[in-house]
């Protein structure tokens, strides 16, 4: 099976592109093969047309909290409210989120999906620091228009399947909360050592114990994962691991638990089932 992992950003460019890492899952091994580099959203839209079957883990929230959707008066189904968000435009969507936050008491500004709480991620509404709300605005409407199957929000039977990933969940199995990538600060020997430790963990039997398969990568990739301060390609591999695990659970709802609100979306990882 062809498996992709895609580290997402709300503003792709040549300096920080979208990295779609291509892997193959067969005979109990996820084998890393190559990568597609997408420098703008037009290239991302064209990439979504890649013929299936494939499954791709994408690092952005596919949906918004149910109570935000209700408060905004948007349609309750995923396709409906994502279409309404797209019609609002970027400024309209961000203005609606800010207005909702302004109406809520201090300490309760953010609304959370169940997947956000279980994974320890930011609210899917977040517009700054890690602006996952902006990623949602750029990503979800494009998934809607592409016609791909979006699990669990829109399981339409298309052989191209998108699942929501969050690479930090995989990384924490090996690093805890130890930082491994450069954000706003220069890279440090400590962060590089953490990436080296993470790559070693991904090649160990611990991955097979957690996800049910091993991970194989060549030396060139191992060196790149350690040397890249921003860890974009490494995060894409972590997304691919989660996508591959979801694929192995496809007969059981792609690893999405029954308590999930399917219109909010779900981050696919066994750790969220254990929480």
pLDDT by residue (tens digit) across 96-105?
999 999 999 9
What is the three-class DSSP state of 110?
coil
Q: Report pLDDT for 275.
A: 57
Instruction: Provide the whole-model pTM.
Output: 0.96
pLDDT by residue (tens digit) across 242-254?
999 999 999 999 9
The answer to whether 268 touches 245, Cβ cutoff 8 Å, is yes
If pLDDT is split at 50, 70 and 90, which confidence band does 186 have? confident
If pLDDT is split at 50, 70 and 90, which confidence band does 185 have? low
Q: Would you give the DSSP letter of residue 145?
A: H
The answer to whether 164 touches 263, Cβ cutoff 8 Å, is no
If pLDDT is split at 50, 70 and 90, which confidence band does 129 have? confident
pLDDT by residue (tens digit) across 114-125?
999 999 999 999
The count of C-alpha atoms lying within 13 angstroms of the C-alpha of 42, restricted to the half-sphere facing its C-beta, is: 0
Q: How far is CA 245 from the centre of its chain?
A: 14
CA proximity to 263, closest of 147, 163, 156, 153: 153
Which segments within 123-250 are labelled E, that is strand? 149-151, 160-164, 214-216
Q: How far is CA 72 from CA 67, 75, 123, 154, in A?
A: 9, 9, 16, 21
Average pLDDT, rounded, for the chain: 96
Structure tokens at 29: 């091994």
The ranges assigned to domains in the chain are 2-62+162-248
pLDDT by residue (tens digit) across 67-89?
999 999 999 999 999 999 999 99
Distance CA 116, CA 120 (A): 6
Q: How far is CA 58 from the centre of its chain?
A: 4
CA proximity to 85, closest of 61, 104, 102, 121: 61
If pLDDT is split at 50, 70 and 90, which confidence band does 274 have? confident
Interval 207-216 mean pLDDT: 97
Contacts of 251 (CB under 8 A, 6+ apart): none
Q: Would you give the DSSP letter of residue 15?
A: S
What percent of the chain stands above pLDDT 70?
Answer: 99
Can you state the angle between helices 167-175 and 189-202, rounded to 10 degrees?
100
CA proximity to 174, closest of 238, 268, 254, 242: 238
If pLDDT is split at 50, 70 and 90, which confidence band does 187 have? confident
| Cα end-to-end distance, the chain, whole Å | 29
Distance CA 154, CA 67 (A): 19
Distance CA 49, CA 190 (A): 40
Q: Report pLDDT for 111.
A: 97
Distance CA 99, CA 68 (A): 11
If pLDDT is split at 50, 70 and 90, which confidence band does 183 have? low
Q: Does residue 176 register a pLDDT over 60?
A: yes
CA proximity to 234, closest of 206, 208, 202: 202
If pLDDT is split at 50, 70 and 90, which confidence band does 45 have? very high
């Amino acid at each position: 099976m062809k498996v992709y992992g895609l580290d997402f950003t709300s503003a792709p460019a040549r300096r920080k592109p979208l990295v779609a890492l291509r892997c193959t899952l067969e005979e109990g091994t996820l084998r890393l093969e190559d990568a597609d580099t997408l420098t703008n959203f037009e290239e991302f839209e064209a990439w979504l047309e890649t013929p299936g079957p494939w499954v791709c883990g994408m690092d952005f929230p596919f949906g918004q909290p149910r109570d935000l959707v209700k408060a905004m008066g948007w349609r309750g189904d995923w396709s409906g409210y994502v279409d309404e968000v797209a019609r609002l435009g970027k400024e309209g969507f961000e203005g609606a989120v800010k207005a909702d936050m302004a109406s809520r008491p201090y300490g309760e500004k953010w609304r959370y999906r169940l997947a956000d709480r279980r994974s320890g991620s930011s609210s899917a509404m977040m517009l700054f620091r890690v602006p996952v709300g902006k990623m949602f605005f750029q990503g979800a409407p494009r998934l809607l228009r592409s016609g791909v199957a979006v699990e669990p929000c829109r399981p339409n039977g298309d052989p191209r399947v998108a699942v929501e990933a969050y690479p930090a969940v995989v990384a924490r199995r090996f690093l805890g909360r130890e930082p491994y990538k450069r954000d706003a600060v220069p890279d440090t020997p400590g962060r590089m050592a953490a990436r080296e430790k993470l790559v070693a963990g991904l090649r160990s039997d611990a991955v097979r114990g957690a996800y049910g398969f091993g991970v194989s990568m060549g030396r060139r990739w191992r060196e790149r994962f350690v040397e890249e301060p921003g860890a974009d390609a490494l995060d894409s591999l972590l997304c691919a691991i989660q996508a591959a695990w979801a694929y192995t659970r496809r007969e059981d709802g792609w690893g999405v638990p029954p308590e999930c609100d399917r219109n909010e979306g779900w981050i696919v990882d066994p750790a969220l089932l254990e929480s």
